[in-house]
Amino acid sequence: MICEKSQRIYPKVLVVENVAGALSGEHARYWNELNETMKSAGYRTATLRCQAADIGMAQLRKRVLFFAWRTKRDIDFNVPIVAAGSLRSVLAGASGQKNHNPSQLMSDSRDWLIAKKIKSGQKLSNVRGGENAVATWDIPEVFGEITESERTVLEVLRRLRRQERQRNYGDADPVSLARLESALGENFHRLVTGLIAKGYLRRVEDGIDLVGTFNGKFRRLAWDKPSCTVDTRFGSPRYFLHPSQQRGFTVREAARIQGFDDSYVFCGNEKGQYRLIGNAVPPPLGAFAAQFVKRLLGRA
């Protein structure tokens, strides 16, 4: 469709923005087709990989920009990296602005109890170890008490399901009973049966796997770092947690991270507002692309 419209309008400069994944896998053929079509129509082309944090935004957001032009200009698409912003700097002074209506999780609710256990820079995840991952078994007041022996079973299973692969897709597999017995000893049967009853494990064909992986849920952002990619779910605390409060991000906070000035007022239902912001090309990224367009047109 882009190719058809550009051939009909025949602009001097064409800019296309997309996610970084557009350059790999099956999606790559569409990008390559765009590139070849524009070249065949007499355009010169360039593809620029861009990280929003590298142009000064307080957000990690990888995108690709495609430029096609039929002017005589040759420009350098290499740009210096600018220090990333932080959540602290971009969210300062949000109180009192339009579209800023913080909604705290209900005290002692299930989500509140989970959020209380997630520290800055951490997330709820059963499939990753390390200091940035909080497993469900670390929150017994929500997911149920376990013994130290049961914890050992869960941690061994978490490691084995990623290390010893059976399938050529996904990033983990159920672990066979034989492998678990080899790693844990004969007593593992009783422990596994208990963890299945408690809802931590499940039988999958001839193996055992975790019930919930939760990788990336309840991700708490850090004040002094850039945000992860703003998407349409940014208002949900089950996906993204405010750095220091038990809630998700307001529409205004999401908009600020995306680079929208406070003069932008978002209307309609709140879900639609988050969708609009999450799907938008961040204004700073648009301005970044516009600098190249001006130079290609000889206006800068």
Kind of pairing between the strands at 133-134 and 123-124: parallel
CB 125 within 8 A of CB 215: yes
For 19-44, how does the pLDDT look when each residue is reduced to its tens digit (9 = 90+)? 999 999 888 999 999 999 999 999 99
- Is 91 domain-assigned? no
CA distance 266 to 274: 9
Note if the pTM is more than 0.95. Answer: no
**Which of 156, 188, 210 is the endpoint of a domain?**
210
Residue pair 267/255 in contact by the 8 Å Cβ criterion = no
Q: Specify if 127 maps to a domain.
A: no
Number of domains comprising the chain: 2
| Whole-number CA gyration radius for the chain | 24
d(CA 149, CA 184): 10
Average pLDDT (265-272) is 96
Do 78 and 144 reside in the same domain of the chain? no
Query: First vs last Cα of the chain: how many Å apart?
Result: 30
pLDDT number for residue 180: 86
DSSP-derived 3-state class of residue 138 = helix
pLDDT at 4 over 90: no
pLDDT score at 215: 80
Q: Is the residue at 109 inside a domain?
A: no
pLDDT of 300 reads: 59
Mean pLDDT check: name the lowest of 109-123, 180-194, 238-252.
180-194
Give the residue from 168, 183, 210 where a domain finishes. Answer: 210
Segments forming the whole domain that contains residue 191: 136-210
Q: At what angle do helices 148-163 and 177-184 cross, to 10 degrees?
A: 130
The enclosing domain of 68 has a CATH number of 3.40.50.150
**pLDDT tens per residue across span 42-83:** 999 999 999 999 999 999 999 999 999 999 888 899 888 999
Q: What is the mean pLDDT of residues 119-143?
A: 94
Q: Which of 210, 240, 259 is the last residue of a domain?
A: 210
Percent of the chain with pLDDT over 70: 98
Residue 6 predicted with pLDDT over 90: no
